[in-house]
Amino acid sequence: MTKMTILITGANGQLGQCFRELAAGYPAWRFLYVDINELDITNRRAVFSFFEKNAVQWCINCAAYAAVDKAESEPELARKVNVAGAKNLAAACARQDIPIIHFSTDYVYHGRQNAPFREDDPVSPKGVYARTKLAGDRAVLKANPLGMVIRTSWLYSLYGQNFLRTMLRLGAERPSIGVVFDQVGTPTYAPDLAAAVLQIVQKVENKAVERASIAGVWHYSNEGVTSWYDFARAIFELKNLPCRVNAIESKDFPTPVERPPYSVLNKAKIKAAFGLEIPWWRESLEGCLR
């Protein structure tokens, strides 16, 4: 019996490596991992040729230009990867009637509100990164009727560049650091997100949910709410690092791109549709650091 093949693009990135780690739990499936050296998603011809040569049943796109501040000086590259690349994959999948799962960001919401953002709330991206991610979301949904866009927030793991790894490094090097307390959201442990996606794929394959029902925009982050300051405190507490965390305001830590002040995501839709149980951010952090 031929194994079902799942293509993971951007496979060397943070999220891609989490899928690699979880793949052993799905021995009935074949995972095909590609990064830019194997497939340049910004090259439309190469993408269509790849899908013609490889029998793929699902595409999970982890490829993204995610350097938020650097994107301001590299807008063309950010657009190529986040918009053109995403569109190429979605269109190639659509030609073969293949679902695509594409990841997006809380940065598309920049409104000042106190209730978690729902999928149909107004978007207001600031900066090149946020605008190109939103344009990529729309391109995926337009190109493929089986396009699933999952917006997430504050992604971290032991792989790649992320807040956790930065804090572990700084906490070991410095006696104290300043971390903003006026930006609120939810840390998302990347393996939790990857596991949820594979559960969704499994439910579709087992016909527990309709294939067409995955289409559209969805939210996934861990449960709960915190600030970057509290997140840093939790990391140092769990790792017994003596580094002192000083609470500072965003205006005291200027960056080329303004960060969303509030980016808590409402996950009621994805939980109800796929029966997902989402862990609390603190429990996932403890599991990660263990």
Q: Kindly list the catalytic residues.
A: 129
User: What are the residues whose beta carbons fall under 8 Å from the beta carbon of 27, sequence distance 6 or more?
Assistant: none
Distance CA 107, CA 130 (A): 5
Q: Report the DSSP pairing between strands 147-152 and 216-219.
A: parallel
Helices 86-95 + 127-143 axis angle, to 10? 10
DSSP at 280: B
Distance CA 46, CA 218 (A): 29
Residue 7 CB-half CA count within 13 A: 27
User: Pick from 275, 117, 229, 243: which is nearest to 169 by CA?
Assistant: 243
Question: What do you get for the CA distance between the two ends of the chain, in Å?
Answer: 39
**Burial of residue 72, with CB atoms counted within 10 A of its CB: 0-12 exposed, 13-18 middle, 19 or more buried:** middle
Distances (CA, A) of 240 to 58, 82, 236, 243: 42, 38, 6, 9
Angle at 198 (CA atoms; ends 196, 201), nearest 5 degrees:
115
Distances (CA, A) of 42 to 65, 87, 129: 11, 9, 16
User: Pick from 112, 102, 154, 111: which is nearest to 133 by CA?
Assistant: 102
